[in-house]
Amino acid sequence: MITDPLVHYPVTTATQVALIQIDDYGPWTVTPEPRREMDLQYLQASLFADFAAFVDGAGGYAFYGRFDNMYAVGNEIDPADFERFQRRVRNRYPVTVSIGVGLAESPVEALGEASERLQAAGSAQDGNRREALVIGDDEPADTGMVTVGHFDVVDVTGSLTDRENAIDVSLAIRRATLELATYLRTEYDSLAHFVGGDNIIAICPDIPPQAFDNAIEHVRVETDIELQVGIGRGPTAQAAGEQAKEALEQCRATGARIHGDGQLPADD
């Protein structure tokens, strides 16, 4: 199905990804007895809101991951910024966070590096690991253009939100997200994440438009859900993402299923 594999495109750039992990969180949530569930929901959502604002300040994109393990693509975040975020968390919350940072050709490899570095610093449930910040000596390296694909479901309001039981709408979109994210992770070393509503954002290496077309086709075959995607490129996730959002507006306006800068190289 993939006619235009990744290796045809010279990779000259790298992407920085950070993994943020709440220290010793599991034990904390049940000490001295299980804490109130809605308090945990409040804490996790607030922490992610703060994290998103922090990452935004550095031109990046943040994803809530599993809430106790969040991640961010932010090519211009420097170590002092991460320390500042750790300090803020310590001064605002009853928990602390450790951070691993990776830099690699693809977002998935970079997150893999970040994961390994954090794991090497101690277990997520090691009470002695507090506020580790592990960046590695390959930093700072040149980071390059980020490619962002911003997907949503074609006419989600008319076909789902205004018609179906909310649980079925949720399950349908979650299935589409999972199929898309798994496919993009496996085939294109990309990180895709649900961002609310019917929106999914993918952080990708320098992949061709055909890759996005393949992904949309894969989701349709597996789930019967039709996605569209706006594609953007830029020096930061924020710049690329903004372009992707504008491109998605063009999809909505024109009915095209794919729109954005990603198509330009195909014209060569």
198 binds a second copy (CB under 8 A): yes
224 binds a second copy (CB under 8 A): no
Of 177 and 214, the one with the shorter C-beta distance to a second copy is 177
Dig out the tokens for 91 from the structure.
């001064």
Binds a second copy by CB under 8 A, chosen from 191, 202, 204, 227 = 191
261 binds a second copy (CB under 8 A): no
According to DSSP, the residues that pair with 18 across neighbouring strands are 72, 101
Q: Contact letters (x/-) for a second copy, 116-135, by CB under 8 A? A: ---x---xxx----------
Helix (H) or strand (E) holding 133: strand 133-134
CA atoms in the 13 A half-sphere facing the CB of 262: 32
Q: Contact letters (x/-) for a second copy, 65-104, by CB under 8 A? A: xxxxx-x------------x--xx-xxxxx----------
231 binds a second copy (CB under 8 A): no
Q: Is 131 helix (H, G, I), strand (E, B) or coil?
A: coil
Question: 261 with 247: CB under 8 angstroms?
Answer: yes
In the bound complex, what is the minimum distance in angstroms from residue 70's beta carbon to a second copy? 9
Count of residues engaged in binding a second copy, rule: CB under 8 A: 85
Binds a second copy by CB under 8 A, chosen from 44, 75, 98, 147 = 44
| CA distance linking residue 141 with residue 226, whole number of Å | 39
| CA distance linking residue 155 with residue 234, whole number of Å | 28
In the bound complex, what is the minimum distance in angstroms from residue 211's beta carbon to a second copy? 17
241 binds a second copy (CB under 8 A): yes
Instruction: Kindly give the residue spans of alpha helices, DSSP state H, lying in the chain.
Output: 25-29, 37-57, 79-92, 107-120, 156, 166-188, 209-223, 237-254
C-alpha distance from residue 85 to each of 20, 49, 90, 98, 111 (Å): 10, 12, 9, 10, 19
Of 178 and 256, the one with the shorter C-beta distance to a second copy is 178
Which residue from 237, 19, 203, 182 is spatially nearest to 112, judged by alpha carbons?
Answer: 19
Q: Contact letters (x/-) for a second copy, 46-65, by CB under 8 A? A: x-xx--xx-xxx--xxx-xx
23 binds a second copy (CB under 8 A): no
The piece of 2-10, 175-183, 208-216, 258-266 that touches a second copy (CB under 8 A) is: 175-183
The piece of 5-13, 131-139, 166-174, 258-266 that touches a second copy (CB under 8 A) is: 166-174
Question: 68 with 28: CB under 8 angstroms?
Answer: no
Binds a second copy by CB under 8 A, chosen from 45, 141, 221, 266 = 45
